[in-house]
Chain A
Amino acid sequence: MPGVSCTVAEQIASLRRIAGARVAARIRRAEDPLVARIVEGWPQRIEARRARELGFKAEGSFDEIIRIHIGEDRGGTFVD
């Protein structure tokens, strides 16, 4: 399936853009070697041509993914 290719820094920037600096500041750094090793061995971009041809779509941006989460899982609100 297709997805949005983006870095963690871009994801945090998205969160700051949509929810503000106070929300984004709640993220703390605590790197975990096991998680880092697993995730860094994963693809960073996928074509997913067959899935796209079958009608699967990815969001246009990570901002959209956050907005969907706020809208569908959080009833349109978040804690500032």
Chain B
Amino acid sequence: MHVLITGAAGMIGRKLAQRLAGDGALNGQRIGKVTLLDVVSPAQVLNFAGQMEIVAADLSEPGKAARAVEARPDTIFHLAGVVSGEAELDFDKGYRVNLDGTRALLEAIRATGDGYRPRLVYTSSIAVFGAPFPPSIPDDFHLTPLTSYGTQKAIGEALLADYTRRGFCDGVGIRLPSIVVRPGKPNKAASGFFSGIIREPLAASSCTRRVCRATRSVPASIFRCRE
């Protein structure tokens, strides 16, 4: 099978690529080819026996999504996106990447036609929910996002469901909680400091706590997420 990962240079993309390359199979099927796509060239993953393709492309640019699905990947992990803080600060970029890029990918899949119906794994976020909250939020709690990022993710979920209902893809949406502890340098995710307050002190760097100590969140580790 051929697996395409968008956002493959990101924190989850890198871990997922390493995991798939190491396993060499997904759901019991041998992975013959992996395509790693991101706006910057993702790093090669070394321990993979099959074919590995590296693509630098922005899915929101004309023609790029069509080229990404041209080889008809069987499974697509659509992780590409602008993080929450950045989507809030740059309205245009957030909608372009998170909404237009996702729509372009879905449209490219639909346009392929000819019985093409890939498994599409979409990473949504618990930011689709908005306060006020009950003590614990059930799966079917109404979607009232309070950020542009959450709004873009909620629209993506609706698109994924509709394109699946219409038979264009086999969509699975996963709402990720705050992923900690993220490797690498801080990014503009509003939740990034949750990683920073653990990662930086352990590396002997100082870091800053951006919210009140009583702020409650729902972290999970990246190593669970890639299961």
Q: Once the chains bind, are A26 and B201 in contact (CB under 8 Å)?
A: yes
A-side interface mostly: mixed
Given contacts A47-B137, A74-B202, contact A28 B209 (CB under 8 A): yes
Given contacts A3-B219, A8-B197, contact A43 B129 (CB under 8 A): yes
Which residue of B88, B177, B200, B208 is within 8 Å of A38 (Cβ)?
B88
* Binary A-proximity of B197-227 (CB < 8 A = 1, otherwise 0): 1111111111111111111111111011101
Q: Once the chains bind, are A69 and B212 in contact (CB under 8 Å)?
A: no
Q: Once the chains bind, are B198 and A3 in contact (CB under 8 Å)?
A: no
A66 neighbours in B (Cβ, 8 Å): 181, 198
Number of interface residues, chain A, beta carbon within 8 A: 57
Which residue of B176, B183, B210 is within 8 Å of A1 (Cβ)?
B176
Given contacts A45-B218, A56-B224, A59-B220, contact A36 B126 (CB under 8 A): no
A43 neighbours in B (Cβ, 8 Å): 126, 129, 133, 137, 218
Q: Once the chains bind, are A41 and B218 in contact (CB under 8 Å)?
A: no
Q: Once the chains bind, are B147 and A38 in contact (CB under 8 Å)?
A: yes
Q: Once the chains bind, are B220 and A5 in contact (CB under 8 Å)?
A: no
Q: B114 interface residue, CB < 8 Å from A?
A: no
Which residue of A2, A24, A32 is within 8 Å of B201 (Cβ)?
A24
Given contacts A26-B201, A44-B217, contact A50 B210 (CB under 8 A): no
Residues of chain A from 1 to 59 with CB closer than 8 A to chain B in the complex: 1-9, 11-12, 15, 19, 23-32, 34-36, 38-51, 55-59
Q: Once the chains bind, are A27 and B209 in contact (CB under 8 Å)?
A: yes
Q: B24 interface residue, CB < 8 Å from A?
A: no
Least CB distance from B111 to A in Å reads: 30
Number of interface residues, chain B, beta carbon within 8 A: 58
Q: Once the chains bind, are A57 and B227 in contact (CB under 8 Å)?
A: yes
Query: Which A residues are closer than 8 A to B by beta carbons?
Result: 1-9, 11-12, 15, 19, 23-32, 34-36, 38-51, 55-59, 62, 64-66, 68-70, 72-74, 78-79
Query: Which B residues are closer than 8 A to A by beta carbons?
Result: 84-85, 88-89, 126-127, 129-131, 133, 135-139, 146-147, 174-178, 180-181, 183, 190-191, 193-194, 197-221, 223-225, 227
Task: Contacts A11-B198, A55-B227 known; list 12 others, CB within 8 Å.
Answer: A2-B177, A24-B201, A30-B208, A30-B209, A32-B208, A34-B89, A46-B137, A47-B139, A69-B180, A69-B198, A69-B199, A72-B223
